[in-house]
Amino acid sequence: MTRYDDVKKNEKLLIALTTLTLAEFEELLAIFERIWDEWVAANQTEGRERGFGGGRKPVLKKDEDKLLFILCHFKTCPPQIVLGHMFGMSQSQANEWIHRLDGILRTALGEMGHLPEREPEKLAEILAGDGEKDVIIDGADRKIQRPKDNEKQKEHYSGKKKTHTVKNNVVVGAEDRKVKYLSGTCEGKKSDKKLCDEENLTFPAEVTLYKDKGFQGYEPEGTETKQPKGGELTIDEKVENAVISGIRVVVEHVISGIKRCRIVKDIFRNTKDKFNDVVMEIACGLHNFRTSRR
**For position 235, what pLDDT does the model report?**
87
Q: Residue 17 — pLDDT band, cuts 50, 70, 90? A: very high
**For position 231, what pLDDT does the model report?**
79
d(CA 46, CA 97): 18
What percent of the chain lies above the pLDDT cut of 70?
96
State in Å, rounded, how far the first CA of the chain is from the last one: 31
**Is the predicted pLDDT of residue 35 greater than 90, yes or no?**
yes
pTM summary value? 0.92
**Is the predicted pLDDT of residue 47 greater than 90, yes or no?**
no
Question: Out of 121-130, 139-148, 232-241, which region has the weakest mean confidence (pLDDT)?
Answer: 232-241
**For position 51, what pLDDT does the model report?**
60
Tell me the average pLDDT across 218-234.
86
**For position 33, what pLDDT does the model report?**
97
Q: Helices in 113-232 by DSSP H: which ranges? A: 123-130, 150-156, 192-199
pLDDT tens track for 101-125? 999 999 999 999 999 999 999 999 9
**For position 294, what pLDDT does the model report?**
87
**For position 271, what pLDDT does the model report?**
86
**Is the predicted pLDDT of residue 228 greater than 70, yes or no?**
yes
**Is the predicted pLDDT of residue 48 greater than 60, yes or no?**
no
**For position 42, what pLDDT does the model report?**
86
**For position 230, what pLDDT does the model report?**
80
**For position 45, what pLDDT does the model report?**
59
What rounded mean pLDDT belongs to the chain? Answer: 92
**For position 237, what pLDDT does the model report?**
84
**For position 53, what pLDDT does the model report?**
58
**For position 113, what pLDDT does the model report?**
96
Q: Exposed e or buried b for every residue in 234-257, given b needs 16+ CB within 10 A?
A: eeeeeeebeebeeebebbeebbeb
**For position 233, what pLDDT does the model report?**
82
Tell me the average pLDDT across 186-204.
92
The answer to whether 68 and 2 have CB atoms below 8 angstroms apart is yes
pLDDT tens track for 51-105? 655 666 778 999 999 999 999 999 999 999 999 999 999 999 999 999 999 999 9
**For position 260, what pLDDT does the model report?**
97
